[in-house]
Amino acid sequence: MSNEIKSDKQHLGDIASEEVSLQQQAIERERSNRKEHGLLKVLLSFMGSMELAISLFVIIGIASIIGTILQQNQDYNTYIIKFGPFWFEVFRSMELFDIYSSWWFVLLLGFLLASTATCIYRYTPTIIREWRQFRLNISSKSLKLMHSSSSWSSQISPDETAQFIQEKLSNGGYQSRQKNEQGVITIAAKKGAINRLGYLFTHGAIIVICLSALYDGNFNLKLREVAGQLKPETRDLFASQVPDISRLKAHENHAFRGNASIPEGSTTGLVFLQMRNGYLVQELPFNISLNDFRIEHYESGMPKSFESDVVIEDKETGEQISKTIEVNHPLIYKDFAIYQASFDDGGSVMDIQAWPLSATEQDSKPFNIEPFKQVVGEKKLIQTPDGDYKLELAEFKKSNVQPNPKAGTGENERKFKNMGPSLTFRIRDSSGQAQEFINYLNPSAQEGRFFFLSGVRSTAAEPFRYLFIPADDDISLKRFFDFRALLSDSVQMKRIAEKTAAMSLQSAGTPNSEMVTQMAVVMQRLAELFNQGGFDLVLNDINDKVPEDRRKEVSDSYFKVLQTILGTVYLEVLQGEGVDIENNITPAQERYYDDLVNTMGVVSNYKAPFYLQVKSFEHKEASGFQITKSPGKDLVYLGCVLLCIGIVLMFYVAHKRIWIIITPAAEDESGSHLVVAGSGDRHQKEFAMEFKALSQLLDKQFSKSG
């Protein structure tokens, strides 16, 4: 029981020794100040409260996580495709697509800045006082109640005892002060008081980083937009056509992050700043010229590394520097950082032939008679019998590496295959509706035969649905489109149908002119339906006109007639190629017919008035740069240094105090008595070991007393 009482007394002694935390002292003073000064002190108490600071940190942290996961400042159409119209509107109203410049995020940073500044204002006087005070007004009774406490008797005078102890404390790194009242000497020593500066360093770091974020943000652009001085451009214009209200001069914007795509051999002196559903043109004080762009790929086709050889020319001085920019190795020029961010097509020139796919009467030549050239990124109006269409070339890839599903497990087996070049484009009708296509320039081998692949989709969120067009003996598309053109030629189809009907009835032994005419009409009509919608349209026509109990019988007959007329048309196409159809049809040409009919059966789902074939191309690459100007980054570096110093001081430097009270011995005795006690604000085990070492040192010089 006595040990428990002693432990309680020691605990009370720790409290009585004035070893209260810095925040507890400030809270007590604040309570008294509230009564004296009212609303101002209440406001300061709220702004400097730990609860407010933690709440702000949590909210800003969550917002930063969202801003990291959700790619910022993208085109609104990208977000609509990704999230759908409903969630797009929800996220847009919360400004999640530009979090770091949103009014609520800036407001949070401002609150955090004010709260941190208030904390420094409130606690700095206490920190200074705590740093300067040695607490010499302490009683022997309080020392004895401390957890780390002991007493000794000395045979030497109090002054000599004090001198000895101060010397030992100084050797241990302690600063000490001494007070002598009526012969009683009090020594107060401390070390590690510098850890109090950790509070100021960490809070100062927060202020510096918040100032940097506010300075480097583009909230000022939003204020200018509200004031009517700036307006993001939403139209697809050339940079030279963008009006002045959507342009920023070279020295007009102190901080920004923009993008520039520069084709090889080209020069630019501006970047584009994405701003919600529009953009701003930011002029630069220098020009960037791209001399060469190089890229290396892994076996899987993923980019391994890419770099650009650029020349920077200052617009004012004419100074030029040549540098190579690599990924993660930006070029720092004055206050600007130029990063190698991406790569794209730089305006490759496509030599294109357009084959008609309409089921109306036409020939197999392209709509504009001669093959035409078009640059990737440009648009072209193409007139067809079905109306005018706008052709938009979106992207050209020189190689398309994909996993090889037929690869084995052997070391020499190729895990990937290159599909060759591809062209992605959109065909937009007069109402503005567009279909997106991807055409592979080289035919792909499928079960020993070659097919030209073309994918189609209505939106970017859908996967491509592929059309396989068989390649003929010359690995070309000519035979397929000759066949389709012949099906669309009503004059020729009437002749072929009459000839086929006569031959069929003659072989059946019923050569009746009226029956020949009727069968020819049926054949031509079935061929027309098949040309327009494949087997599905033929079947739907039968279901609409034939009673249910006779549909199977009629379907079988009609499809036999259809196969007959299609076979005759195919022979006509072969004969036009110079093939001896009586004796020289090869197994490959027979298989081609099956593939041809299968493709014709689904080509109506392709939903395009023509098929684009790239005959040749001139590849041109472009390098994508991200150019930033962020003068506040130096403040961030300073804030990080302050934060690291503050954390080290707060968590790894302990504030330790030791008190010694030396009283003279009784009049009938010589020497003195001393009581030694100490405490540390953290790392209690470390302080206990240090106090034990001090006690052992005193044991050698003095004798222990009760």
Kindly report the CA angle at 277 between 271 and 280, in degrees rounded to 5? 25
Q: Which among 555, 573, 387 has a CA at the least distance from the CA of 479?
A: 573
Shared domain for 140 and 6, answered yes or no, is: yes
Q: What average pLDDT does this structure show over 361-390? A: 74
pLDDT in tens, 480-513: 999 988 988 888 999 998 888 888 777 666 667 7
Under 8 Å between Cβ of 522 and 487: no
Q: What average pLDDT does this structure show over 469-476? A: 93
Q: What average pLDDT does this structure show over 532-547? A: 87
- Residue 625: the pLDDT is 95
d(CA 296, CA 302): 9
The reply to whether 359 falls in a domain is no
The reply to whether 650 falls in a domain is no
For residue 658, give Cα distances in angstroms to 171, 651, 683: 14, 20, 15
Q: Which two tokens stand for residue 291?
A: 């001399």
Q: How many domains does the chain have?
A: 5
Shared domain for 12 and 142, answered yes or no, is: yes
The reply to whether 665 falls in a domain is yes
Kindly report the CA angle at 613 between 610 and 615, in degrees rounded to 5? 150
Q: Which among 498, 503, 539, 537 has a CA at the least distance from the CA of 519?
A: 498
Shared domain for 247 and 335, answered yes or no, is: yes
Shared domain for 140 and 127, answered yes or no, is: no
d(CA 639, CA 208): 5
For 585, phi then psi, to 5°, come to -85, 120
Q: Which among 561, 556, 571, 480 has a CA at the least distance from the CA of 528?
A: 561
Q: Which two tokens stand for residue 140?
A: 């022997």
**Residue 359 binned pLDDT confidence (cut-offs 50, 70, 90):** low
pLDDT in tens, 26-58: 555 555 555 545 677 788 888 888 889 899 999
E-strand spans in 471-511? none
Shared domain for 147 and 118, answered yes or no, is: no
pLDDT at 5 over 50: no
Shared domain for 141 and 30, answered yes or no, is: no
The reply to whether 374 falls in a domain is yes
* DSSP state for residue 233 in the 8-state scheme: B
Shared domain for 498 and 601, answered yes or no, is: yes
How many helices (H) and strands (E) the chain has is answered by 17, 27
The reply to whether 360 falls in a domain is no
Shared domain for 453 and 391, answered yes or no, is: yes
pLDDT at 525 over 50: yes
- Rounded (10°) CA dihedral 615, 619, 624, 625: -160
d(CA 475, CA 443): 8
- In the chain the first and final C-alpha atoms are separated, in Å, by 20
Enter the pTM of the model. 0.68
pLDDT in tens, 567-589: 999 999 999 888 888 877 888 99
The reply to whether 358 falls in a domain is no
For 260, phi then psi, to 5°, come to -140, 130
* 155-177 core/surface letters (b: 16 or more CB in 10 A; e: else): eeebeebbeebbeebeeeebebe
- Residue 361: the pLDDT is 44
Mean residue pLDDT of the chain comes to 85
Shared domain for 595 and 499, answered yes or no, is: yes
Q: Containing domain of residue 103, as a range?
A: 19-134
For 490, phi then psi, to 5°, come to -65, -35
Report the percent of the chain where pLDDT is more than 70.
Answer: 91
**Residue 683 binned pLDDT confidence (cut-offs 50, 70, 90):** confident
Under 8 Å between Cβ of 511 and 505: yes
Shared domain for 561 and 594, answered yes or no, is: yes
Q: Which two tokens stand for residue 193?
A: 């008081």
The reply to whether 499 falls in a domain is yes
The reply to whether 351 falls in a domain is no
**Residue 273 binned pLDDT confidence (cut-offs 50, 70, 90):** very high
| CA 357, 358, 361, 366 torsion-angle sign | negative
Shared domain for 382 and 426, answered yes or no, is: yes
Shared domain for 128 and 28, answered yes or no, is: yes
pLDDT in tens, 422-458: 999 999 998 889 999 999 999 998 888 999 999 999 8
Amino acid at 84: G
Least confident interval from 24-33, 460-469, 610-619: 24-33
Under 8 Å between Cβ of 672 and 665: yes
pLDDT in tens, 77-111: 888 878 888 999 999 999 999 888 888 999 999 99
Last residue in a domain, options 450, 471, 492: 471
CATH number for the domain spanning 170: value is 3.30.310
